A and B are shown apart, each in its own frame.
Chain A
Amino acid sequence: MAEPKITLAEVEHVARLARLDLSQAEKERMRSQLDAILTYIDKLRQLDTDNVEPTSHAIPMVNVMREDEVRPCLPTEAMLANAPERASDFFRVPRIIEE
């Protein structure tokens, strides 16, 4: 059997980076699905791209800037209206612990 493209430990690491609490069943399923997709994607290796520049924008442009002008802000209330939890004019979040 071929070496898996992605291991369960890698799935767990990536899920942690992406801040997704996956159940054990989800992790297993995710691993096999990602494995299949990555196996498909492996076909890119057939192409020699050593002397090919990457394209990050299909329509190349440069130097798009705005002048340093102040524009009106939105009212505090409008900016907080969607907050899941607030305390006066702040957004409130649960206790911060470092990972």
Chain B
Amino acid sequence: MPRMTGLTIPEVAARYRSGAATPTQVVEAYLRRIEALDPKLRAYVTVTRESALARAEAANRRLKAGTPAGPLDGIPLAIKDVICTKGVRTTCSSKILETFVPPYDASVITRLTAAGVVMLGKTNMDEFAMGSSTENSAFFPTRNPWDLTRVPGGSSGGSAAAVAADLAAGGLGSDTGGSIRQPAAFCGTVGLKPTYGRVSRYGLVAFASSLDQIGPFARDVRGAAMLLQAIAGHDPLDSTSTDVPVPDYEAALGQSVEGRRVGIPNEYFIEGMDPEVEQAVWVAIEVLKGLGARIEKVSLPHTDYALAAYYLIAPAEASSNLARYDGVKYGYRAPGNKDLIQMYGRTRAEGFGAEVKRRIMLGTYALSAGYYEAYYGKAQRVRTLVRRDFQQAFERVDLLACPTAPTVAFKLAEKEDPLQMYLCDIFTIPVNLAGLPGLSLPCGFTQGGLPIGLQLIGKPFDESTLLSAAYAYERATPWHRRVPELA
């Protein structure tokens, strides 16, 4: 029997086209893998077995009839449980939404369904996407497929782990401060956060509205390009989605790196970072140079302030976005309340986990009377400075290359101090504040066998350049072909 799993998205699609495999065969193989391996990994919150098989069946028919819905017809994906799926429980890995079944699909789901994609299930995450390890799930932590004693990163740890462990051909995550790129780095997959406004947020349960973006995970760059192609574009239901034309990302992969100016930001190589990470990233930069890229040092002087600004802006928006979870319309309601005030206070205290409560408190405080200008207002001004840093850098270079995270995957329960956990995202957060596209791809492994991520940062709406540089690098290196041994 031919191989049904362990393939990249373009490889699966090629097998469908040649008739070497059918969507039903592939989806069944994935469901078996999930059944066998997910108990160890715990990447999925919900596996949508029945609907996956039904959709695979429909894809079979289309492919057989020679009328595929598109290049992704029949491709099995893992969807982060923060993206609303009609009729399928969408929990955000929170007790407060444990029972919530949306009556509508997120716009990305509508697009993927039209493209024939088969959803295998909904993946685990840090509650409401707040965290960097997936330990903040109200249900269970997800494990890193390269070392089950370590975290997969977060908040999209479930999707990253599922794709890395080949429990799906690809997946979707969301990235507010690094939640796609950091777990992609920790799990050794490709993860892309598109430009703010490139992909519709309609149906993405909001964490921080001005920072959130949905993006793909895949085991290779082409797969990520194909997924981005399917989800990118203007959506009239999202006022912040732009109608900038969507280029052909797969075609862009052919662009050469020759002559591209790659900026290396000084501030992204800091004291205290893992030397193996630093080493691998420098080697990766050499590889890009060898491919003809022109390497230039650049400075992003306000990098050091980005994290502080982010921890005001994101919690402030979150405190507002999460106000709706009150036990009235959907989700959890604490039992036995004598009155409304008690119901609100208990429902929210029991329904939210510690990190979510911490950020609600921080955000409420930052917006409250007398503090707005000093905190939220100040942070929005600093955000302007961070954005300007990038604008100035991009006057000289086409893209930036740097580490995705200062360390590799850490052990479960290793980081108990919230501030230490926040520091995991220092290299990814500025990109969200500036609304830029960022991509993480594997650029090596530590001696201990843990993947290391290289982050590429592009100009607004220039995902093509990121993808082409990543693709050139990927073809020149072996890292994406390494797979974790799970069985």
Our pick among B307, B328, B385, B435 for the contact of A47 (Cβ within 8 Å) is B385
Contact with B along A55-99 (1 / 0, CB 8 A): 111110100101000000010001101111100000101111101
Given contacts A18-B364, A82-B101, contact A41 B348 (CB under 8 A): no
Our pick among A6, A37, A54 for the contact of B377 (Cβ within 8 Å) is A54
Taking CB atoms, residues of chain B closer than 8 Å to A44 are: 305, 308-309, 312, 378-379, 382
Decide yes or no whether B380 CB sits under 8 A from chain A.
yes
B240 touches A95 (CB 8 A): no
Our pick among A34, A45, A46, A59 for the contact of B365 (Cβ within 8 Å) is A34
Decide yes or no whether B110 CB sits under 8 A from chain A.
no
Rounded to whole angstroms, the CA-CA distance of A12 and B100 in the bound complex is 30
B104 touches A74 (CB 8 A): yes
A14 to chain B, nearest CB (A): 5
Among B47-55, B249-257, B353-361, the one that faces the other chain is B353-361
A19 touches B361 (CB 8 A): no
What are 9 A-to-B residue pairs whose CB atoms are below 8 Å?
A15-B361, A20-B348, A22-B349, A36-B419, A54-B380, A82-B330, A83-B330, A84-B331, A91-B329
Q: Told that A18-B360, A57-B210, A59-B240 touch, could you supply 16 new A-B pairs with CB distance under 8 A? A: A17-B364, A19-B323, A19-B326, A19-B344, A20-B345, A22-B357, A37-B422, A40-B308, A41-B375, A47-B305, A49-B382, A54-B380, A58-B435, A58-B460, A94-B339, A95-B338
Query: B residues within 8 Å of A by Cβ?
Result: 99-101, 103-104, 195-197, 210, 236, 239-240, 242, 302, 304-305, 307-309, 311-312, 319, 323, 326-333, 337-346, 348-349, 352, 357-358, 360-362, 364-365, 368, 375, 377-385, 387, 417-419, 422, 433-436, 460
Query: A residues within 8 Å of B by Cβ?
Result: 6, 10-11, 13-15, 17-22, 26, 30, 33-34, 36-38, 40-47, 49, 52-59, 61, 64, 66, 74, 78-79, 81-85, 91, 93-97, 99
